[in-house]
A and B are shown apart, each in its own frame.
Chain A
Amino acid sequence: MTHPVVPIKTYAAVFGALLALTITTVAVSKLELGEFNFVAAMTIAVIKGTLVVMFFMDVRRATSLTKLIVGAGLFWMAILFVFVLSDYASRGWLPGPRWF
């Protein structure tokens, strides 16, 4: 399988974006945003991860099977997060009234 050559400018631009986003992460952590500090940090992390996967790992031009594998990985991570967070979310719940 042959791949078109990616211009080095593209890689440099992505690298620059990753550096800029890292600086942004540090800057945002200095602000007092309450719960939104976490949201902002995670949002930036997801953007950075997406850039790495799409450009450095070249998934944007990969075959459908490779995209499926990447999707499966994300789905599996979602299973982990959803189940763990549902435990935390429901820990304080008390038993409901009996219906019988």
Chain B
Amino acid sequence: MSTYLPFARTEARTNYLNADYGWKSWLFTTDHKRIALLYLFSITAFFFVGGAFAVGMRVNLLTPEGIFAHDTYNKLFTMHGIIMVFFFLVPSIPATLGNFLVPLMIGARDLAFPRINLLSWYLYMIGGAIALTAIVKGGVDTGWTFYAPFSSTYSNTHVILTAIGVFVSGFSSILTGLNFIVTIHTMRAPGMTWGRLPLFVWGHYATSLIQVLGTPVIAITLVLLGLERVLHAGIFDPAVGGDPVLFQHLFWFYSHPAVYIMILPGMAVISEIIPCFSRKALFGYTFVAISSIAIAVLGFLVWGHHLFVAGQSMYASMVFSLLSFLVAIPSAIKVFNWTATMYKGSISYETPMLYAFGFIGLFTIGGLTGLFLATLAIDVHVTDTYFVIAHFHYIMVGGMVMAYLGGIHFWFPKISGRMYPEGWARFAALIVFVGFNLTFFPQFILGYQGMPRRYAHYPPEFQVLNVMSTAGASILAVGYLLPIIYLGWAWRKGPKAPQNPWNAKGLEWEQSPTPPPTYNFETQPVVTEPAYNYSGESEEVGIG
């Protein structure tokens, strides 16, 4: 990626981890790398809280009669969704790996607004604390979608408190997006043209656009929900002159693009891993970069496919159906180009690459079943069934979480300065893949056979598939706990990592010590080559 400047040592004597000590040096830091770690530990905690609710649901579904009261089950799936979507998936890669890597990858000393970066973490924690307070006080039962008029009028749980938590954390997301956009526009190193930007950065740029443009809409929607609940303003409740479909329009205007907030950074990670472990430049760099922007733009035009059976005009539904199909094009471009990158590559099977393989397969299944749901007639049959649950978990868990884990392993040496145990990591990746498929593939069948989502009970003929799903969830839980254990061990006891253990291209590997110093580079990096120049070409070779 760049001219290799000589280093006096492979590990900086002073790095961002040992530059300062004490809790104040962490809680008041403006170093993007330390803030990334604050986010990493916070979202990991939220991931396990959200996971605990999933465990409760899967245990309940072991038997047709279940073990929890209906109200309790309603709260379990609601709080699972709210914690996982708003407090894990949305911030996961951008706030951790993105925060850590975007300045390093473009050759900058930090993000453009370091204090705003810290503010975004505090807002996230305040929002999370408010949502957790709502849970401790008794929880909320509206579903993560907060559909009105149930949420605005009839639910007697802690809707307002939870909505405030989501509202506040939304500003954290906006600030992170804003910071990335300004940083990428204004702080690139000499020679780091838009055509040489790593695709990780392109992916985060597209994500940031959605965060800045979409998040205010969910914020104002939740404010309107609060106004109706507290002041009985007639906005969504037909009993006081409102329209419940309006809520769904406003909610999904953000929440469908939010799916792309979750998956685009995952794609960004995969675009880094595959060239490295195939020892080849990414096939069709320009198309992959543009496809990120295309997904961000088209992603804003498809929200109506969540309203096919909600009373939306059939003409609007037809338009939204067509537009939903169009999003498959840039997504497919990425999958085809990753595959073409591997073709005749010198592939090796380190843990990040195993997660990348998993991502490609599972994301493809998730994406293709999304086309089923974009088809009007099929959607009528499977709306609100487990088919939908399986579909979006293949995207968000099979896709996004696999990419997240792949990225964590890929950059773990850079972040911690240590190597993780490769054998254990490969074993965990395998466990996650098996556990995930056993959990969610049966749900496609359950949904197609008509099992609705969000019910605590089900007919006895669905029990076998539900038991398989719960067994898979147990395996998946082991797969998620293993990295916590061995990465935690490796952080303190693992062998010291060389500067560039994967022989990867990119400023963060080639020109920054491992772990990086506080201001990332010892000298100003200058970029003279295209991205992913694994073949050593001196100039860009054009598209494709």
A interface residues, Cβ below 8 angstroms from B: 65, 72-73, 76, 79-80, 83-84, 86-91, 93, 95
Q: Which residue of A lies closest to B318 (CB)?
A: A90
Given that A76-B300, A79-B301, A80-B253 are contacting pairs, would A87 and B213 also be in contact in the complex, using a CB cutoff of 8 Å?
no
Secondary structure of the B side of the interface? helix
Instruction: Indicate if the CB atoms of A73 and B213 lie closer than 8 Å.
Output: yes
Given that A76-B300, A84-B249 are contacting pairs, would A90 and B315 also be in contact in the complex, using a CB cutoff of 8 Å?
yes
Given contacts A84-B249, A87-B316, A91-B312, 4 further A-B contacts (CB under 8 A): A83-B249, A84-B246, A84-B250, A93-B315
- Bound together, the chains give a CA A86 to CA B323 distance in angstroms of 15
Instruction: Indicate if the CB atoms of B313 and A90 lie closer than 8 Å.
Output: yes
Q: Is B217 an interface residue (CB 8 A)?
A: yes
- How far apart are B60's CB and chain A's nearest CB, in angstroms? 37
Instruction: Indicate if the CB atoms of A87 and B253 lie closer than 8 Å.
Output: no
Q: Mark B279-322, 1 if CB is under 8 A from A, else 0.
A: 00000000000000000000011001001000111111001000
Instruction: Indicate if the CB atoms of B300 and A87 lie closer than 8 Å.
Output: no
- Bound together, the chains give a CA A80 to CA B249 distance in angstroms of 8
Residues on A with C-beta less than 8 A from B214 are 76
- Bound together, the chains give a CA A89 to CA B315 distance in angstroms of 10
Which of A80, A87, A93: most chain B CB closer than 10 A? A87
- How far apart are B178's CB and chain A's nearest CB, in angstroms? 10
Residue pairs across A and B with Cβ atoms less than 8 A apart, 17 shown, are A65-B185, A76-B214, A76-B300, A79-B301, A80-B253, A83-B319, A84-B246, A86-B313, A86-B316, A86-B319, A87-B304, A87-B312, A88-B313, A90-B316, A93-B313, A93-B315, A95-B314
Residues on A with C-beta less than 8 A from B316 are 83, 86-87, 90
**Could you count the A-B residue pairs with CB atoms below 8 Å apart for me: how many are there?**
42
- Bound together, the chains give a CA A33 to CA B312 distance in angstroms of 30
| Residue among A79, A84, A90 making CB contact with B300, cutoff 8 Å | A79
Residues on B with C-beta less than 8 A from A73 are 213
Query: 8 Å CB contacts to A: which residues of B176-190?
Result: 185
B interface residues, Cβ below 8 angstroms from A: 185, 213-214, 217, 245-246, 249-250, 253, 300-301, 304, 307, 311-316, 319
| Residue among B217, B315, B319 making CB contact with A80, cutoff 8 Å | B217
Residues on A with C-beta less than 8 A from B307 are 87
- How far apart are A86's CB and chain B's nearest CB, in angstroms? 6
Instruction: Indicate if the CB atoms of B304 and A83 lie closer than 8 Å.
Output: yes
Q: Which residue of B lies closest to A89 (CB)?
A: B313
- Bound together, the chains give a CA A77 to CA B536 distance in angstroms of 46
Residues on B with C-beta less than 8 A from A83 are 249, 301, 304, 316, 319
- How far apart are A49's CB and chain B's nearest CB, in angstroms? 14
- Bound together, the chains give a CA A91 to CA B217 distance in angstroms of 24
- Bound together, the chains give a CA A93 to CA B312 distance in angstroms of 12
Residues on B with C-beta less than 8 A from A95 are 314
Instruction: Indicate if the CB atoms of A87 and B313 lie closer than 8 Å.
Output: yes
- Bound together, the chains give a CA A79 to CA B313 distance in angstroms of 17
A-B residue pairs, 10 tightest by C-beta: A87-B316, A90-B313, A91-B313, A90-B315, A84-B249, A76-B213, A87-B313, A80-B253, A87-B312, A86-B316
- How far apart are A24's CB and chain B's nearest CB, in angstroms? 22
| Residue among B213, B249, B311 making CB contact with A72, cutoff 8 Å | B213
- Bound together, the chains give a CA A84 to CA B314 distance in angstroms of 13
Residues on B with C-beta less than 8 A from A88 are 313
- Bound together, the chains give a CA A80 to CA B300 distance in angstroms of 9
- How far apart are A29's CB and chain B's nearest CB, in angstroms? 15
- Bound together, the chains give a CA A87 to CA B310 distance in angstroms of 12
- Bound together, the chains give a CA A75 to CA B300 distance in angstroms of 12
- Bound together, the chains give a CA A65 to CA B186 distance in angstroms of 12
Q: Which residue of B lies closest to A91 (CB)?
A: B313
Q: Which residue of A lies closest to B209 (CB)?
A: A72
- Bound together, the chains give a CA A47 to CA B43 distance in angstroms of 42
Residues on A with C-beta less than 8 A from B304 are 83, 87
- Bound together, the chains give a CA A88 to CA B316 distance in angstroms of 9
Q: Which residue of A lies closest to B307 (CB)?
A: A87
- How far apart are B251's CB and chain A's nearest CB, in angstroms? 12
- Bound together, the chains give a CA A93 to CA B318 distance in angstroms of 13
Instruction: Indicate if the CB atoms of B249 and A87 lie closer than 8 Å.
Output: yes
- Bound together, the chains give a CA A2 to CA B185 distance in angstroms of 20
Q: Which residue of B lies closest to A95 (CB)?
A: B314
Q: Which residue of A lies closest to B253 (CB)?
A: A80
Residues on A with C-beta less than 8 A from B313 are 86-91, 93
- Bound together, the chains give a CA A41 to CA B315 distance in angstroms of 30
Residues on A with C-beta less than 8 A from B250 are 80, 84
- How far apart are B62's CB and chain A's nearest CB, in angstroms? 41
Q: Which residue of B lies closest to A72 (CB)?
A: B213
- Bound together, the chains give a CA A87 to CA B217 distance in angstroms of 18
- Bound together, the chains give a CA A57 to CA B253 distance in angstroms of 26
- Bound together, the chains give a CA A14 to CA B390 distance in angstroms of 54
Residues on A with C-beta less than 8 A from B246 are 84
Q: Which residue of A lies closest to B315 (CB)?
A: A90
